Amino acid sequence: MTAARERRSTIHVSPRLTAATAGRVLRQLRHDHRTIAMLLVLPSLLLGLLYLLWKDVPTLPGQASVFDRVGLTMLGIFPFVVMFLVTSIAMLRERTSGTLERLLTTPLARLDLLLGYGLAFGLAAASQALVTVGIATTVYGLDVTGSIALVVLIAVADAVLGVALGLLASAFARTEFQAVQFMPVIVLPQFFLCGLLVPVDRMDGWLQAISNVLPLTYAVEALQEVGWSATATATMWTDVAVVAGAAVLALALAAATLRRRTS
Amino acid sequence: MDAAITVSGLVVDRGRRRVLHGLGFAVPPGQVTGLLGPSGSGKTTLMRTLVGVQQVRSGEVTVLGEPAGSPGLRARVGYVTQAPSVYADLTVRENARYFASLYGLTSREADAAVADVGLTGAAGQLVNDLSGGQRGRVSLACALVGGPEVLVLDEPTVGLDPVLRVELWELFHALARAGTTLVVSSHVMDEAARCDRLLLLRDGDLLAHSTPAQLRADGRSPDLEEAFLTLVRAREEVAA
């Protein structure tokens, strides 16, 4: 066995194979023009709807307007929801088309595949966030005290979390019908309890306890921190770390569900 | 010369059903071994076992001296599933280049593999826009690209026109002459004549392991299908 062959056959993560896989996923996306258009434009249009909804609602002096508060939060929720859905369907396709089984017979490690998806959709989410944040702050006049770059960073972290949970959820779906129904199961409870509808400290104790273990809560808190503070706060960095940690945990669990040998 | 593949006492269950009942055989290197048998005889399960994606109840499967599915084998064994397993939303070339990159190879090798299966003219087309037979050849190209020492092909010629079928068999024999070990499954007996060796599978049992010439002699017929039937009947008489 040659040294090159030994190196190729290791089961550890390879940056080269991860990048090749991310490139492949992005090329698949590139052929799907409508999906690209929807990814880039849809969140801005929905945000516009919210802007028009609250345009004429008066704001109490010294408080953030409803749109500033909700719009900012939505910048973190859109990428999470969209990437969760896109990834769970993409991974399910990989399973049902036989390409997953084939990939598992090649030198590609399971984590290479998952990280490749994370990288590809993370990049897609970054483009989406740049468009959405750009339009929100210029056209809709969304007021953010902190750095716009931090808003984009948090949006990308949320997207990667969505990707990781989508990869994990797809393991439990046999059909597309099942896969799309994991969206309400995984996403809606997190949305209800994330602190946007009711601030977390005003929830019942047991609801707070649940909210505190759901990663989206931290994503929303991070955005709220950027919303009021001109500089990055320690709380915000902790929140971002929690979101990233949850994404890594979900990826590890997803890797464990990818069985090379099946019955 | 050592066998490329050795199987002994292989038992595989799928659900509660026993699919393979203790198979044992050896596949010589550098030859085309045909895996023949009717639909449902266990061909695909056996091939999945050879590439290490099938859970095995008991028995041993050794490929190129290592247990089937070992990490060290993944760059040395190629597998083409029965249904084309490539990305329908990528072009032929993009599919081949992705699989080439998984083996540490470049677009030059990818383009050569596309040419080997006669798809250079369609290289820029989306797989989605190709015919079923063309898709199957894309799938084959994605396995050829890694230059595997063992190539496991599950019904690679289904739905192909006769000219293409002959061309593919020529390609298989060219690969074998260059040292590749091929295991090719088929449910049509007229392809059996093109193989160097034959494994006849029926209801998860190995009915025969021989050469086309030997099978004709054993089954007392110049027609392989007829010879196969004679063997099946003889086996059933023994069992009765």
| Nearest Cα to Cα of residue A50 among A184, A123, A154, A142 | A142
Cβ within 8 Å of A, B 117-146: 126, 142, 146
How close A203 comes to chain B (CA, Å)?
A: 46
| A28 has a chain B CB within 8 A of its CB | yes
Residue A263 belongs to some domain of the structure: no
Spans of all domains in chain B: 32-52+75-239
Are A101 and A40 contacting, i.e. CB atoms less than 8 angstroms apart? Answer: no
Crossing angle between the packed helical segments A148-170 and A215-228, to the nearest 10 degrees: 170
Q: What is the rounded CA–CA span in Å between residue A24 and residue B106? A: 14
Name the residue with tokens 């400290």: A201
* Residue B24 · residue B209 · CB < 8 Å: no
Distance, CA of B155 to CA of B34 (rounded, Å): 10
Residue B21: strand pairing partners:
B11
Distance of alpha carbon A111 from alpha carbon B103, whole angstroms? 16
Residues of A in contact with B51 (CB under 8 A): 105
Q: Is residue A7 part of a domain?
A: no
* 3-state secondary structure at position A111: helix
Cross-chain Cβ contact A101/B88 below 8 Å: no
Q: Which residue of B has its CA nearest to A15?
A: B102
DSSP 3-state of A96 = helix
Q: What domain range is A207 assigned to? A: 13-54+62-257
- The predicted complex's ipTM stands at 0.88
A99 and B83 within 8 Å at the Cβ level: the answer is no
In DSSP terms, B202 is beta-bridged to B205
CATH architecture entry for B32-52+75-239: 3-Layer(aba) Sandwich (3.40)
Number of domains in chain A: 1
The tens-digit pLDDT sequence of chain A (263 residues) is 344 444 443 457 889 999 999 999 999 999 999 999 999 999 999 999 999 999 888 888 878 888 998 999 999 999 999 999 999 999 999 988 999 999 999 999 999 999 999 999 999 999 999 999 999 999 999 989 999 999 999 999 999 999 999 999 988 888 888 988 998 999 999 999 999 999 999 999 999 999 999 999 999 999 999 999 999 999 999 999 999 999 999 999 998 888 888 87
With vertex at residue A236, the alpha carbon angle to CA A231 and CA A241, rounded to the nearest 5 degrees, is: 135
